[in-house]
A and B are shown apart, each in its own frame.
Chain A
């Protein structure tokens, strides 16, 4: 127990060193506080934002937008991807469209969704939905395509209906790739969310960062930036843990 904590600490020591260096260069006056607020002041500002409720209100708005958009992208994208692998006409119709949309820099959609739906929740949800769909579609498609022919044939020869094979064989074997696609989509969702809020919004983490920065409250700006970064990191780690649990059946 103690050794594992020790190795953990040793592993993350560089981050602690960075934090100490940050605090030290500001406290010793090597860097002006107008450029880099001290870490301790940032933590203080973070606590004040937490207490004042600003962080909760804006955080809830961001997580709601990101969550709904991502969920829709997973549902619709997963269905499209599996359909493309399962049904030839769907593949013929969709694959060139996916090929065009996949390399589109998704940030280009921000002005369009703002044009259609304004500056509120709906434009962000649409943006994240559209932006996150390509990786999910591709993951589901590659996964479902990769399901072993022999498994499908055996299931069919044992009398399983096509739908049954889809549900019991194709979708489970599509899972690993689909889950990887969703992980990419999640990272993309954070980027699109924060940046669209930075550019056009009246609420959300990105808005709060821009608002505090414009007001010259750099401690607050750094605090919110680090909060968003840590939430993105934590979400990815939790997702990875859940993914490993969900795929335990694969040896």
Chain B
């Protein structure tokens, strides 16, 4: 994703000259967001025009007011915390297990034989269909939600790890072996760092899935969280609540995706890709 964002962003304007670079860069940054601001103003005006009922499209200002109210009462913080906790817990479990499994598959023929068909059949499946099964087995609470999130997000992590490790230059592995490296040090000092870009790509695919599935489990089962709040609002025909939820979750998604891109740059400072100009 980072690459795509870079392309999108770097195209929004010519690079400023050295002189007033900072100020012009700032101006360009604001100017580049004009379409979003126009869209928000259009929303407000369209909702006020009377062409749509406040039920189908509440005004932006009333939705923002609603978000503010929820923030004051503490409800927003509670729901945000619950949603983030589940999504990130599932994501971290999937990341750890996925990298372990990926290493095992890439390094051992028997593990590969057993897991390869399971991963390749499981990856493209719409695993959300298993939700009622997970409810049956694990109940309605955090356990089933977090397991469901981990189950959905582990596949891209495993695949990316396998691709990353198999792509490590053989000659590097041979030279390390030649110099007497133990298997453990080979893994920590060579295989994992060398496949880090691929693993991070897998994690960048997995993170939005964690959020999507987290919201879905909350909508289907309730029990706090932004998804549950939105579903509750929808059931009571409270359209302001629904739109407030969309804005909140859009902000969460945006921050997480951007944060992941920044983390990638930090972790890969030593890597070639960090030399390419980025604007994220």
Asked if chains A and B come from one complex, the reply is yes
A111 nearest in chain B by CB position: B234
Q: A110-B219, A111-B233, A115-B242 are in contact. Are A233 and B121 (CB under 8 A)?
A: yes
The CA of A116 and the CA of B243, in the complex, are separated in Å by 12
B32 nearest in chain A by CB position: A96
Q: Once the chains bind, are B253 and A14 in contact (CB under 8 Å)?
A: no
Q: At the interface, is chain A mostly helix, strand, loop or mixed? A: helix
The CA of A35 and the CA of B116, in the complex, are separated in Å by 27
B179, chain A: closest CB distance, angstroms: 37
A contact residues around B250 at 8 Å (CB) = 100-101, 103-104, 108
Q: Once the chains bind, are B35 and A105 in contact (CB under 8 Å)?
A: no
A contact residues around B9 at 8 Å (CB) = 95, 99
The CA of A168 and the CA of B7, in the complex, are separated in Å by 24
Q: Once the chains bind, are B132 and A111 in contact (CB under 8 Å)?
A: no
Q: How many residues of B contact A (CB 8 A)?
A: 65
**What's the interface size class on A, roughly?**
35 or more
The CA of A218 and the CA of B208, in the complex, are separated in Å by 31
Q: Once the chains bind, are A105 and B129 in contact (CB under 8 Å)?
A: no
The CA of A198 and the CA of B148, in the complex, are separated in Å by 15
From 44 to 76 in chain A, residues with beta carbon under 8 angstroms from any chain B beta carbon are: none
Q: Once the chains bind, are B245 and A229 in contact (CB under 8 Å)?
A: no
B contact residues around A14 at 8 Å (CB) = 113-118
A21 interface residue per 8 A CB criterion: no
A225 interface residue per 8 A CB criterion: yes
Q: Once the chains bind, are B220 and A11 in contact (CB under 8 Å)?
A: no
A112 interface residue per 8 A CB criterion: yes
Q: Once the chains bind, are B242 and A112 in contact (CB under 8 Å)?
A: yes
Q: Once the chains bind, are B227 and A107 in contact (CB under 8 Å)?
A: yes
Q: Once the chains bind, are A199 and B231 in contact (CB under 8 Å)?
A: yes
From 196 to 215 in chain B, residues with beta carbon under 8 angstroms from any chain A beta carbon are: 208, 211-215
Q: Once the chains bind, are B8 and A190 in contact (CB under 8 Å)?
A: no
B205 nearest in chain A by CB position: A184
Given contacts A111-B231, A191-B128, A233-B125, 16 further A-B contacts (CB under 8 A): A12-B117, A14-B118, A96-B32, A96-B34, A99-B9, A101-B250, A103-B250, A103-B254, A103-B258, A104-B246, A111-B233, A142-B4, A195-B131, A199-B220, A205-B129, A213-B136
